[in-house]
Structure 1
Amino acid sequence: MSAVLTLASYSWLGWGSFTWTVLTLLLIIYYRMWSQSRTVRLFNALPGPDFLPFLGNFLDLNVDLDEFLKLVHFDWIKKYGPIYRVWGGFRPVAIISSPQLMEPILVSQKLITKASEYSYLSPWLGNCMFLTTGGRWKSRRRLLTPAFHFQILNSFVDVFNEKSIDCARQLERAIETHGDNEFDIFPIMTQCALDIICESSMGRQTRSEEEKAIYVKNLHRIGQIVMERGIRPWLTFDWIFQFSSLGRENQRCVRALHGFTNQVIRDRREALRLEAQSLKQHTTDGSINNNINEDKTDAPKERLAFLDLLIKASETNPDFNDDDIREEVDTVMFAGHDTTASAMTWFLYCIARHPEYQQLVMDEVDQVFGEDMERPCTTQDAAELKYLECCIKETLRLYPSVPAVMRCLTEDVDIGGYKLPAGVSVALMIYGMHHSPLVYPDPEAFKPERFLPENSIGRHPYAFIPFSAGPRNCIGQKYGILETKIVLANLMRRFRFSVADSSQPMIIPSSEIVLKPKHGVPLIVSKRLIVN
């Protein structure tokens, strides 16, 4: 009996060994055929780091997010040039960091398809305008563009002013607590930006502080998860990702974010219903209706909030349902506050490290507003703050809110003497290009004068693209710039910012969807003394 079992054991081991041998041979044959394919041969003609079969450059890219940023935007660009290749497992990604090489992709009306890596956001953002392409993207873009018309943006100036004053009060409370010591300003600027996007774009007052804090925490984490998934080849497969600890955490974040947004939509629907009901009751009485018409001649125009526009669209378009509304609302809630919060925080950090430039900004602000600390900032005031705008642009050069954008090539493209085959992803490295000495001399220095009109002559039109460019540029960039200028102008009228030790190296950002400080931005904030 034992002899039979022993023979069976050897037979089983032999069969297992045979199976593994066959599988290994099949993998070798598959890899050989794959590596000789046209796409791989064309792609590997690009310079780039050595890679391993199946794993690609995973071992190189398996680093912390701040190290990842340095590796792909600095080290490899310096070593391999303005166009190089990276393998994310079997996913080919061409890295481009030159405005001349970016231009053919940015200006194209055809190369507008988002890279497959953006699909990692789909559980949260669905098929929103940011992620979709083709006819759906065009129809969504047409639908949403009126919400960012300059007349509508101007109607939100009072919100920008009101919330920036709330932000100033928070800074004053922090000063009382911390005195002359540093404290992290990033949470305060994040709350300011979130308050603004909730009220101006969602047509409602902000939610409770606890709800906002939970929302921001989940938003921050989901950005990290997307980046972490992007550099782990085995998590490319949804069925593996869903059962991983990272996937389960992603699901929790998505549920929380959707819960926040769904409540925003429900509240606004109810508010609009009550407003319509009230108006209907008034119009049933002719005398009251006449009085209302008389009052409206001098009344300010009613705001058309972003969410209102979507709700109205859903009432006339049966194909645009509540899920579609939530997708676009989630996108604007994310893009409309996270990017702006980071930009404002980095600005305050930059001028805190450079008091000479901060003084020039304060001099300009004082010239526009005088000693009147209460007068709101108007669009005309914002237009006159030219040097403030230079400092904002220089901040966005050093710390672009979105460090890179990615496309999937739907056709072969000739760039830089190489033929990039259809199907590969292309990463346009905004952060790396903004820091290139070939584009900006002394690129690590904060020099706002770069953006004075006389110093911008001859600069490539795509040398500065913090909002991307071309047909898929950021639809809300005018909103973001106006908000940023008004908030910062109001803060610069009231406070001075500094660092405890200017000899310390610059804070290294973390490479997420949005470029954020990894451990916050500690600054010393003090009230300004206006001398009569």
Structure 2
Amino acid sequence: MGDSGDRVVAPRMGDSGDRVVAPRMGDSGDRGKSTEEGLRQVDELVARYRRGCLWWLSPWTPILRLFHPDTLRPLLLASAFVAPKDQLFYGFLKPWLGDGLLLSRGQKWARHRRLLTPAFHWDILKSYVGVFNQSTHIMHGRRFAQACATVHSFTAAVVQRRRQALDRLGRQAWLESHQGRSMDFIDLLLLTKDKDGNTLSDEDISAEADTFMFEGHDTTASGLAWLLYNLARHPQYQERCRQEVRELLKGRDVEEIEWEDLSRLPFTTMCIKESLRLHPPVTAVSRCCTEDIALRDGRVIPKGIICLMSIYGTHHNPDVWPEPQVYNPLRFSLENSQGRSPLAFIPFSAGPRNCIGQNFAMAELKVVAALTVARFTIRLDAGRPPRRKPELILRTEDGLWLLLEPLPEVA
């Protein structure tokens, strides 16, 4: 790659044209492994190469790893037909998730994306705020110690409600039993039609519901668990969130977050974003382009090369985020965000194949964070420091263990 003709890719992607190639997987300690040490190796790669490097998955499989907005931009913003999902990294999910929005390609993906977009309209999301509040109350009743396990069950409760009912009733029975009320995600799956009047097949509906279960459950659970962990590590930011929420809820008979409140939590939102930067639930996405892709400096990524776009690496790139290992919510203040590339912060990916449910996820995170800091002091369990484990989702080897102490006012 890059050794003949005009197809030139300098894997270093730095200031010089030297061909610098990262060691093959397994050649250097834990490089490429799903461990704490493997993530630290990513930090070292990013600190050394800054924009990207070539990584050998095997002697015959080069992977171009990218971790800078400038090198990510041509791929993330390319048409979904030009830069489809890579089957090497995503294909194993198909028996589990089916050919839903996450895994489908070409015209099928375009049709499904168009049909499903209304399911995530603001009017639909509003109806879920009550579910977020109710599920948070249930979670708080457990007085959880292990954040990962309890948060995981919380996000499952949010998304399983509609999925289980659909499985039990079937398409026609569901529609008949829900006539005359506002529609939600499953309703829209069943009723949506394209311009020719064609609906999704039963197989397609099942695949999209399973995809929503995965993308709206595991990812949000990871993001929420890491958020609570980061607030526990930084009590000064936790207290500032608490004061913001208390001011919002002052004088209310019932402590619940309403739809209109979501835009009135600026500091809490900054804390959520900084947690998603430091601990992105999805650490990378991959593409395998159907044509050559030109970079800004004139170099070209050849057709067929697998590109691993590192969300974690971009979020920890010192050229983009000074002191990247430091948790600092003020990075996301209006003042500090000016001039920053929109591709510097991509926890939900970006471009045509960005996460369709990102507004759903952010609303859920805001409700849970606000109600939790309003009712509890969140502390670390000092005897159980976490070791990160980047698998499909950024987890830990033995859970995230936190202690929640009820505040006197709400005990």
User: If the length of structure 1 is used for normalisation, what is the TM-score?
Assistant: 0.69
- Superposed CA deviations along residues 234-289 of structure 1, whole A, max 9, x for unmatched, are xxxxxxxxxxxxxxxxxxxxxxxxxxxxxx5243537526527xx7xxxxxxxxxx
Residue 15 of structure 2: aligned partner: none
Q: 2:240 is matched with which residue?
A: 360
Matched, 1:267 2:239: no
CA 1:64–1:454: 2 relative to 1, 3 Å: closer
* SS of equivalent residue, structure 1 residue 111: coil
Q: Give the AA of the match of 2:285.
A: V
Q: What CA distance in whole angstroms lies between the structure 1 residues aligned with 2:34 and 2:77? A: 33
User: CA contact under 8 A between 1:408 and 1:425: conserved in structure 2?
Assistant: yes
User: For each residue in 1:491-526, what CA deviation from the matched residue of structure 2 results, as whole angstroms up to 9, or x when unmatched?
Assistant: 11111101244xx89733211121112211111210
Shift in CA distance, 138/270, structure 1 to aligned 2, threshold 3 Å: closer
State the Cα deviation string for residues 9-51 of structure 1 (Å, max 9, x = none).
Answer: xxxxxxxxxxxxxxxxxxxxxxxxx998879985778522245
1:306 aligns with 2:278: no
Whether 2:331 is the aligned partner of 1:450: answer yes
Deviation at 1:165, TM superposition (A): 0.8
Contact 1:43/1:420 (<8 A) preserved: no
Q: Are the aligned partners of 1:118 and 1:131 in contact in 2 as well (CA < 8 Å)? A: yes
Question: Within 1, Cα distance between the matches of 2:186 and 2:317?
Answer: 40
Q: Within 5 Å, which residues of 2 pair with 1:336-415?
A: 336-370=216-250, 372=252, 374-415=254-295
Q: Are 1:466 and 2:347 counterparts?
A: yes
AA paired with 2:245? V
Contact 2:377–2:404 (CA under 8 A) maintained in structure 1: yes
In the TM superposition, residue 186 of structure 1 has moved relative to its aligned partner by 1.1
Q: Are 1:425 and 2:297 matched, yes or no?
A: no
1:48 aligns with 2:18: no
Paired residue for 1:142? 114
Query: 1:184 offset after TM fit, Å?
Result: 1.2
Residue identity in the other structure for 2:47: K
Structure 1 residue corresponding to 2:318, chosen from 437, 440, 449: 437
Residue 493 of structure 1 corresponds to which residue in structure 2? Answer: 374
Larger radius of gyration: 1
User: How much has 1:104 moved relative to structure 2?
Assistant: 1.5
Offset, 1:119 = 1.2
Q: Give the Cα separation in 1 of the matches to 2:70 and 2:252.
A: 47
Alignment-derived partner of residue 114 in structure 1 = 85
Once the 2 structures are TM-superposed, how far is the Cα of residue 130 of structure 1 from its aligned partner? 1.2
SS for the counterpart of 1:136 is helix
Identical aligned residues as a percent = 34
Does structure 2 retain, via aligned residues, the 8 Å contact 1:39–1:421? Answer: no
Task: Give the Å deviation of 1:66.
Answer: 3.2
Query: 1:196 and 1:270, CA in 2 relative to 1: closer, same or farther beyond 3 A?
Result: same
Equivalences for residues 155-194 of structure 1 within 5 A: 155-171=127-143, 174=144, 183-194=145-156
Kindly tell me the number of residue pairs found equivalent between the two proteins. 397
Specify the code of the residue in structure 2 equivalent to 1:88.
L
SS of 1:498's equivalent in the other structure is strand
Work out the CA distance in 2 between the residues paired with 1:372 and 1:437. 44
Which letter does structure 1 place at the counterpart of 2:121? H
CA deviation after TM superposition for structure 1 residue 69, in Å: 2.8
Structure-2 residue corresponding to 1:3: none
The alignment partner of 1:516 has SS state of strand
Higher helix share: 1
8 Å Cα contact 1:43/1:421 also seen in 2: no
8 Å contact from structure 1 (residues 265, 307) kept in 2: no
Residue aligned with 2:378, SS: strand
The verdict on how the C-alpha distance between 1:493 and 1:42 changes in structure 2, with shifts beyond 3 A counting, is closer
Say if 1:314 and 1:321, in contact at 8 Å, map to a contact too: no
RMSD: 2.8
Asked if the contact 1:353/1:499 (under 8 Å) is kept, the reply is yes
Tell me which of 213, 216, 232 is aligned to 1:333: 213
Give, in whole Å, the separation in 2 of the partners of 1:368 and 1:35.
57
In structure 2, what is the equivalent of residue 96 of structure 1? Answer: 66
The alignment status of 1:68 with 2:38, answered yes or no, reads yes
Which residue pairs with 1:132 in the alignment?
Answer: 104
1:483 shift after superposition: 1.0
Q: Deviations over 1:60-93 (max 9, x none)?
A: 457443333332x212223334211112222221
1:529 pairs with one of 399, 408, 411: 408
Counterpart in 2 of 1:283? none
Measured after TM superposition, the shift of residue 487 of structure 1 is 1.5
Shift of 1:308: 2.0
In the other structure, the counterpart of 1:519 is 398
Work out whether residues 46 and 83 of structure 1, in 8 Å CA contact, stay in contact via their aligned partners in 2.
no
> Cα 1:50–1:525, aligned 2, differ >3 Å: closer, same or farther?
closer
Q: 1:87 to 1:373 in 2, by over 3 A?
A: farther
In 2: Cα distance, 1:468 partner to 1:332 partner: 16
Give the C-alpha shift of residue 456 in structure 1. 0.8
CA–CA separation in structure 2 for the residues paired with 1:42 and 1:455: 33
Superposed CA offset, 1:92-143 (max 9, x none):
2100101121112122225331112211211112221211222111100011
Change (3 A) 1:314 1:326: farther
Matched to 1:194, the amino acid is: A
Secondary structure of 1:85's aligned partner: strand
Name the structure 2 match of 1:507. Answer: 386
Deviations 1:360-401 (A, max 9, x none): 000101110026472321112121111100000000010111
Instruction: State the AA in 2 paired with 1:135.
Output: Q
Q: Distance in 2 between matches of 1:265 and 1:124?
A: 16
